C-alpha cells in the first residue's frame, strides 16, 4: 500500500494559454492585456506572465501592487506593467527602478503625489475614472479641475464594470454611457479600457481599445448566464489518510455538528482551511473519487478543520487509504465549489494558489 500526505494543486497552463487565445480573438480588434495581480490570482504571476509574454505575445500586464510588478518585470522586459493600486511612499522607489512599471492614478491626491515624486523619464501612467462602481477613480468634479497638460499626460484611460457578469444588468449600459461621455469630454485622444474578462462577452462597445483579461483566463465563468466557454485551469486533489467506520449515534468533527443517523463509513482527507479549502463547506461541500472507472460523489460531514476534512464514503466502493480525493476538477469546477461555499471562485483561487502547503504542479 502506498500512502501520501500532502494535497496537490494542479495548474493547467495549456488551458490557461488556450483561454487567453480564445478571449483575445473574441476581443479583437481590442488589444488584450493580462491581469496577473494577486500572484496571478494565486496561480503564480512569474510563470503566468512569462508564458503569456513568450507564447502569446502579450505586451500589457496589470498588477495590484508595485511589489507584484517588480516580481514579473524581468520576465516581461518590453511590456507595460500597470499598477492598479497606484503609487505611494511605500512604492515610489520600485517605480524608480523599473521603467516599464506604470501607475494607475485614481485620485487627485494620487496625481499630486506622482507629479511631485515621479522618476525623471517619459513614462505615461493610466488614469482611472469612476463610472458607477464607486470604487477607485476620479469623479467628474475632480476631472474638471485637471489642467490641460495633466489631462494629456496619460497613456490610458480606464474604468471597471460593477455588473459585467450579468448580461442585461442596467448598470452595464449606464457605465458604458458614463465612460464614453467622460472619455470624449476629457480624454478624446487617449487609449481607453473599460472592461475586464466579463466585458469581453458584452459586445463591441464594451471592449474599447483594450480589454483586461483575468478571471476568465484562469477558467472562471465570468459570463455565468451561459455555459462556460473557458477550459478548466485549476484542479485540487488530496490523499485519504484514513478510512473508518462511524457507528450510528457518533458525532463528527469540531463542535459535534454532525451525528450519524445510521452506521456509516467515513474517510479523512488531508486538506483543510489551512490549505485554503473554505471552512464554509462544513457539512455541505462535496468530494469526488474515481473508483472502478467511475466518478463517485461524497459529502463533507462535520466541520472543515485546519488540516483535514471528513467525508461520508458509505456509498463509494473499494475506497482505501492512499486513494485520491478530487476536490476541484473539470467535473466540479471552482465555480461550483464557490456556490457550495457561499462565495466566488476568485476568492477560493486566490487562497489556494498562494498557499505554500500545496505540492504545486504545472501542466505545460
Choose, by CB under 8 A, the member of 59, 123, 139, 286 that binds a copy of itself.
139
168 Cβ contact partners less than 8 Å away, ≥ 6 residues apart:
none
For residues 67 and 295, which CB has a smaller minimum distance to a copy of itself in the complex? 67
Number of CB atoms found within 10 A of residue 5's CB? 10
Transcribe 121-158 into DSSP letters: S----EEEB-SSS-SSSB-HHHHTTS-HHHHTS-SEEE
Candidate list 26, 163, 228, 297; residue touching a copy of itself; CB under 8 A: 163
Measured CA to CA, the distance from residue 68 to residue 302 in angstroms comes to: 38
**How would you class 102 by CB atoms within 10 Å of its CB: exposed for 0-12, middle for 13-18, buried for 19 or more?**
buried
Minimum CB–partner distance for residue 331 and a copy of itself (Å):
25
Among 178, 228, 229, 280, indicate the residue that binds a copy of itself (CB under 8 A): 280
| Catalytic-role residue among 55, 144, 225, 254 | 254
Give residues 287-316 in contact with a copy of itself (rule: CB under 8 A): 302, 305-308, 310
Give the position of cell 485620485.
107
- Which of the residues 226 through 245 are near a copy of itself (CB under 8 A)? 239, 241-242, 244-245
Question: Is residue 167 flagged as an active site residue?
Answer: no
Rounded Cα distance between 143 and 128, Å, is 11
Stretch that binds a copy of itself, among 125-133, 148-156, 220-228, 292-300 (CB under 8 A): 125-133
Q: In this chain, which of 134, 145, 261, 292 binds a copy of itself, going by CB under 8 A? A: 134
* H or E element at residue 8: strand 8-12
Between 251 and 362, CB nearer to a copy of itself: 251
**Closer of 18 and 108 to a copy of itself (Cβ):** 108
Which position among 177, 256, 284, 317 is part of the footprint of a copy of itself (CB under 8 A)? 256
CA distance 190 to 157: 6
- 152 catalytic? Reply is no
Under 8 Å between Cβ of 308 and 271 = yes
**Contact code string over 176-215 relative to a copy of itself, x by CB under 8 A:** ----------------------------------------
> Among residue numbers 8 through 67, which ones bind a copy of itself (CB under 8 A)?
37-39, 64-67
Q: Which is nearer to a copy of itself, 18 or 224 (CB)?
A: 224
Q: Whole-angstrom Cα distance, residue 101 to residue 237?
A: 37
H or E segment and range at residue 184: helix 170-186
Give the footprint of a copy of itself on residues 314-343 (CB under 8 A): 320-322, 342-343
Amino acid at each position: 500500500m502506498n500512502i501520501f500526505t500532502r494535497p496537490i494543486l494542479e495548474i493547467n497552463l495549456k488551458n490557461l494559454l488556450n483561454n487567453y487565445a480564445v478571449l483575445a480573438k473574441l476581443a479583437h480588434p481590442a488589444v488584450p492585456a493580462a491581469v496577473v495581480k494577486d500572484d496571478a490570482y494565486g496561480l503564480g504571476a512569474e510563470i503566468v506572465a512569462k508564458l503569456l509574454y513568450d507564447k502569446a505575445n502579450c505586451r500589457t500586464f496589470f498588477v495590484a501592487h508595485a511589489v507584484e510588478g517588480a516580481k514579473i518585470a524581468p520576465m516581461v522586459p518590453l511590456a507595460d506593467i500597470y499598477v492598479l493600486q497606484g503609487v505611494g511612499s511605500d512604492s515610489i522607489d520600485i517605480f524608480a527602478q523599473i521603467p516599464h512599471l506604470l501607475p494607475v492614478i485614481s485620485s487627485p491626491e494620487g496625481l499630486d503625489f506622482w507629479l511631485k515624486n515621479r522618476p525623471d523619464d517619459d513614462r505615461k501612467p493610466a488614469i482611472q475614472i469612476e463610472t458607477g462602481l464607486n470604487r477607485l477613480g476620479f469623479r467628474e468634479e475632480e476631472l474638471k479641475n485637471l489642467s490641460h497638460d495633466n489631462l494629456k499626460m496619460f497613456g490610458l484611460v480606464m474604468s471597471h464594470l460593477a455588473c459585467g457578469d450579468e448580461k442585461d444588468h442596467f448598470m452595464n449600459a449606464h457605465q458604458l454611457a458614463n465612460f464614453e461621455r467622460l472619455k470624449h469630454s476629457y480624454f478624446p485622444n487617449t487609449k481607453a479600457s473599460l472592461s475586464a474578462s466579463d466585458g469581453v462577452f458584452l459586445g463591441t462597445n464594451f471592449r474599447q481599445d483594450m480589454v483586461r483579461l483575468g478571471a476568465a483566463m484562469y477558467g472562471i465563468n465570468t459570463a455565468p448566464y451561459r455555459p462556460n466557454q473557458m477550459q478548466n485551469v485549476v484542479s485540487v486533489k488530496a490523499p485519504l489518510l484514513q478510512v473508518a467506520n462511524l457507528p450510528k449515534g457518533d458525532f463528527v468533527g469540531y463542535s459535534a455538528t454532525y451525528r450519524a443517523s445510521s452506521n456509516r463509513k467515513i474517510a479523512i482527507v488531508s486538506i483543510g482551511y489551512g490549505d485554503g479549502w473554505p471552512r464554509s463547506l462544513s457539512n455541505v461541500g462535496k468530494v469526488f473519487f474515481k473508483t472502478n472507472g467511475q466518478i463517485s460523489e461524497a459529502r463533507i460531514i462535520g466541520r472543515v478543520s485546519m488540516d483535514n476534512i471528513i467525508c461520508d464514503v458509505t456509498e463509494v466502493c473499494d475506497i482505501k487509504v492512499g486513494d485520491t480525493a478530487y476536490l476541484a476538477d473539470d467535473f466540479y469546477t471552482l465555480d461550483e465549489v464557490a456556490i457550495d461555499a457561499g462565495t466566488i471562485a476568485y476568492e477560493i483561487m486566490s487562497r489556494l494558489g498562494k498557499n505554500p502547503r500545496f505540492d504545486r504542479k504545472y501542466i505545460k
